[in-house]
């Protein structure tokens, strides 16, 4: 089968991955599931993996097939698999968990002590077929297109995971700010709108992104390249600040907004990454706000997100690309030329 594989780390996205002929995976373990990939979302994390940013955080052995946002049709199953059958459409949680370590027993999939992460620590879905396990697959309801829903396997579940934490702290009439209405942010604002009675403010520097937010029902938008964001938030909240901020960008600049825009006792959720937090400890003490990290999400949260998709509460803005266009996708995302999500169709 054909697969897009990373052979060496590089900052040059124009020739980052090569299309190789590799063996098709087989269901050797009793809980294995082989999926014929219908769609695989391209994520900013894929660019970061190519650049070598994850080598200090996750074991990687090159060459490796990238792609951690995967959905498709079950092709083969292990002898003890009962959740799905061959021919079933599924979306794949990116983490294959063991189910027996303490984090798994607590339902904390992302903390599994024996995890395999498709496209990060083991071969992913930028290929015709993907090997995963029964604990990672979620059957899709009738009418849900595997190709269209694929980016929810990471982008969607990550945005939902952050929004769910934020919603737990939001009361009706509170203010929630979403910074960056791109591949994750456009999902996050829909989750906030569907799950809370807060006033949502969308922040970006591109007109197209802000128009996308308006299309999803957000009434307050801010172009932070033209307006002073702290002043705008102060005006909107009578100087109280936003109870919850979801930072889908994660640069030094966006993380630095927190002391000025987060309300006392509120949270600044770091979802995008690449920058650093450079704030004096006194700023956190004075406002008693918190920075909260976001690491994908739980299997059960992906089930919940699929339910929102089925109900029509969350939609994806996507563009599709053939596997042979894989490096074009990497370049376009690197230059900020993709609105919403890119989906590779092997």
Percentage of the chain beyond pLDDT 90 is 95
pLDDT for residue 101 = 98
pLDDT for residue 105 = 96
CATH 3.90.180.10 assigned to 2-154+296-345: yes
pLDDT for residue 317 = 85
pLDDT digits (tens, 9 = 90+) for 225-261: 999 999 999 999 999 999 999 999 999 999 999 999 9
Mean pLDDT, the chain, as a whole number?
Answer: 96
pLDDT digits (tens, 9 = 90+) for 278-300: 999 999 999 999 999 999 999 99
pTM of the model: 0.94
* pLDDT range class, residue 340, cuts 50, 70, 90: confident
Domains 2-154+296-345 and 159-293 share a fold: no
Superfamily designation of domain 159-293? NAD(P)-binding Rossmann-like Domain (3.40.50.720)
* pLDDT range class, residue 107, cuts 50, 70, 90: very high
Mean pLDDT of 212-228: 96
pLDDT digits (tens, 9 = 90+) for 316-338: 988 999 999 999 999 999 998 88
Tokens of 2: 């054909």
Q: What is the DSSP string of 225-247?
A: TTS-HHHHHHHHTTTS-EEEEEE
Percentage of the chain beyond pLDDT 70 is 100
Q: Where are the domains of the chain?
A: 2-154+296-345, 159-293
pLDDT digits (tens, 9 = 90+) for 110-160: 999 999 999 999 999 999 999 999 999 999 999 999 999 999 999 999 999
Closest alpha carbon to 182 in 343, 341, 320, 330: 341
Mean pLDDT of 37-41: 97
């Amino acid at each position: 089968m054909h697969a897009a594989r990373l052979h060496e780390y590089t900052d040059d996205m124009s020739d980052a991955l090569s299309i190789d002929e590799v063996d098709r995976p087989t269901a050797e373990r009793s809980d294995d599931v082989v999926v014929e990939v219908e769609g695989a979302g391209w994520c900013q994390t894929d660019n970061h993996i190519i650049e070598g940013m994850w080598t200090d955080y996750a074991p990687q052995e090159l060459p490796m097939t990238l792609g951690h946002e995967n959905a498709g049709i079950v092709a083969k199953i292990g002898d003890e698999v009962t959740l799905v059958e061959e021919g079933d459409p599924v979306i794949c949680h990116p983490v294959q968990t063991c189910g027996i370590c303490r984090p798994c027993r607590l339902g904390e999939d992302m903390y599994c002590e024996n995890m395999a992460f498709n496209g990060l620590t083991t071969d992913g879905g930028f290929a015709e077929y993907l090997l995963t396990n029964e604990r990672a697959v979620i059957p899709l309801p009738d009418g849900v297109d595997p190709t269209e829903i694929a980016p929810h396997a990471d982008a969607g579940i990550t945005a939902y995971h952050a929004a769910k934490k934020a919603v737990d702290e939001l009361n009706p009439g509170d203010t929630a700010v979403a910074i960056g209405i791109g591949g994750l942010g456009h999902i996050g604002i829909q989750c906030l709108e569907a799950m809370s009675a807060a006033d949502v403010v969308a922040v970006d520097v591109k007109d197209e992104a802000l128009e996308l937010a308006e299309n999803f029902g957000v009434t307050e938008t801010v172009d932070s390249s033209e307006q002073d964001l702290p002043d705008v938030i102060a005006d909107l909240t009578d100087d109280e600040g936003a109870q919850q901020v979801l930072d889908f960008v994660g640069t030094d600049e966006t993380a630095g907004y927190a002391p000025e825009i987060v309300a006392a006792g509120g949270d600044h959720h770091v979802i995008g990454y690449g920058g650093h937090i450079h704030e004096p400890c006194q700023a956190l003490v004075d406002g008693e706000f918190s920075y909260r990290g976001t690491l994908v999400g739980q299997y059960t949260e992906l089930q919940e997100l699929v339910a929102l998709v089925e109900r029509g509460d969350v939609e994806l803005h996507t563009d599709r690309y053939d596997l042979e266009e894989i490096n074009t996708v990497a370049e376009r995302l690197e230059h900020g030329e993709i609105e919403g999500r890119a989906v590779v169709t092997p």
